[in-house]
Structure 1
């Protein structure tokens, strides 16, 4: 299934699927969505986490073995796969589908698979067998850059969530200084939350 980023909170309050793919080129939103998923998983007893990253090279067989083995302490665990710009080769794609088949079969119901990657290509990635398998039994969340009016609204919501109110000039200055980078804008909002005593940003 496909989920928009703003739908995740409501979705997690009702259910948790065995696999989530968070794709996009906006690192702040991606990181926060994954934090939300990890937090919801912890609330449901997923207290172990094993990470496999393309930065260090993914041992696909180790991922498969880990998905099929019992948790070290007999609890529930998260398997986190960080692909970034890389995509699974033929072997990796098959192993990913094998891992998903194990989750689907119920034998590994105590395992949650989280996958993080860069933006999905409409023709290449969406036609790949592993993305189709994730879409079929889990959720795919695509994160897009926030621009224009969307950036203003995002910034306004971020300020409100920190107990701040900003006038139009302040919003325009924050947008200009952060140059459309959400991470920079978020850091400025966090600084303002510490500095502004009455909550009004001018």
Structure 2
């Protein structure tokens, strides 16, 4: 695909096949000193990014935090030519390795984005990323986005450690349940609202960890009431949990193998103009857990609520690990469609994904 630059080839079906290790260039220079670079294992706020580093790694499972961190970097790199790649199954990593050779006529800086759905680049991708990190670009910026990555797996990955050492890692993980109220309070205050404890508690309960929905509800409150104090009654009147309820009906029906029911819910959400990002969040959340269940050793029991475990186990009987990862990648592409980064009908993509989850093939969700 092309994003921001006519020369961008982002992992389409025409990627050429190479033999031997990819040649890594990205217009490399000698390894930079990293003592002035910020490496962090904590949540990192976009407004704290005062320096512009040669390499960034955004790692996390929350679509809103991933998007905001990426947008902050893009804003700081304003004016750079943007190239975007997606690590699909048939992606040729030589495209990334050689991307720095394709300089613009005027030598403009490039922002090279590498999206890795699921956070697993594979052996070849891992090697290419480590080699780039060893000699980071002198003029360009490499932004690696490992969305839906698993925290502990990424912490141990050699390629992630190398990118972190070469520049900056920005974590974008959904806050733990005990931290959700504080996140909601901070967001409301940043928007100019002054919530009391009951208002914060109610909003946090309504969105149940969905930061996209939380952000939308906060904006709705701001539009309806304007800046200033907010109490529980104001939140109750302005915020609805119907969308959250329906989105969970969608994934529950898909995991239970009820394809027709799942599609009815999906098209109902479309008619209600639910933001596609919320559908992406719900599907990605369940597919990540489904991959974990499908790949778990026999007899193991992941730590989660019994009803949730039963739902996922029902889905795992139909969907293996490989198909689950393909569906997760399809969800990432749907997210890109919703933002205009890829062509296509995002709701048709959702329909293919939920149908496949339910065991009914409807188009191509891979």
Which TM-score band applies after superposition, normalised by the shorter structure? Answer: 0.7 to 0.9
The residue aligned with 1:63 is 96
Q: Which residue of 2 aligns with 1:16?
A: 52
Shift in Å at residue 190 of structure 1?
0.8
Number of positions where the alignment pairs a residue of Structure 1 with one of Structure 2: 192
Q: Counterpart of 2:149?
A: 119
Deviation at 1:3, TM superposition (A): 4.9
Q: Could you say if the C-alpha distance between residues 164 and 121 of structure 1 is closer, same or farther in structure 2, counting changes exceeding 3 Å?
A: closer
Question: What SS does structure 2 have at the residue aligned with 1:150?
Answer: helix
Match of 1:6 among 27, 40, 44: 44
What are the superposed Cα offsets for residues 173-197 of structure 1, whole Å, 9 maximum, x if unpaired? 2112112211111100011111114
> Is the Cα–Cα contact under 8 Å of residues 164 and 200 in structure 1 kept in the other structure?
yes
Matched, 1:166 2:195: yes
Residue-by-residue CA offset, 1:30-80 (whole Å, 9 max, x unaligned): 1111111111222xxx42110001358532111111123323542111100
The gaps in structure 1 that reach 5 residues or longer are none
Structure 2 CA distance for partners of 1:3 and 1:48, relative to 1, 3 Å: farther
Contact 1:64 1:98 in 2 (8 A): no
Q: Identify the structure with the greater strand proportion.
A: 1
TM-score for both structures, normalised by structure 2: 0.48
- Measured against aligned partners, the alpha-carbon deviations of 1:6-50 in whole angstroms (never above 9, x if no partner) come to 36533x22x2221111111111111111111111222xxx42110
Q: 1:147 maps to which residue? A: 176
Q: Secondary structure at the residue paired with 1:5? A: coil
Higher relative contact order (CA 8 A, sep 6+): 1
CA 1:155–1:52 in structure 2 vs 1: closer, same or farther (change >3 Å)? same
Instruction: Give yes or no for the alignment of 1:52 onto 2:70.
Output: no
2-structure distance, mates of 1:119, 1:40:
25
Partners in 1 of 2:108 and 2:40 — Cα distance?
Answer: 29
Aligned counterpart for 2:127 among listed residues 94, 100, 107 = 94
Specify whether residues 86 and 2 from structure 1 end up closer, same or farther in structure 2 by C-alpha distance, changes over 3 A only.
Answer: closer
1:133 aligns with 2:162: yes
Q: Is the 8 A contact 2:97 2:128 kept in 1?
A: yes
Distance 1:73 1:165, change over 3 A: same
TM-score by length of 1: 0.83
After superposition, the CA RMSD in angstroms is 2.3
Match of 2:212 in 1: 183
Call closer, same or farther: CA 1:33–1:61 in 2, change over 3 Å.
same
- Look up the match of 1:38: 74
Q: Is the 8 A contact 2:62 2:172 kept in 1?
A: yes
Structure 2: gaps of 5 or more residues: 1-38, 232-366
Kindly name which structure, 1 or 2, has the bigger radius of gyration based on alpha carbons.
2
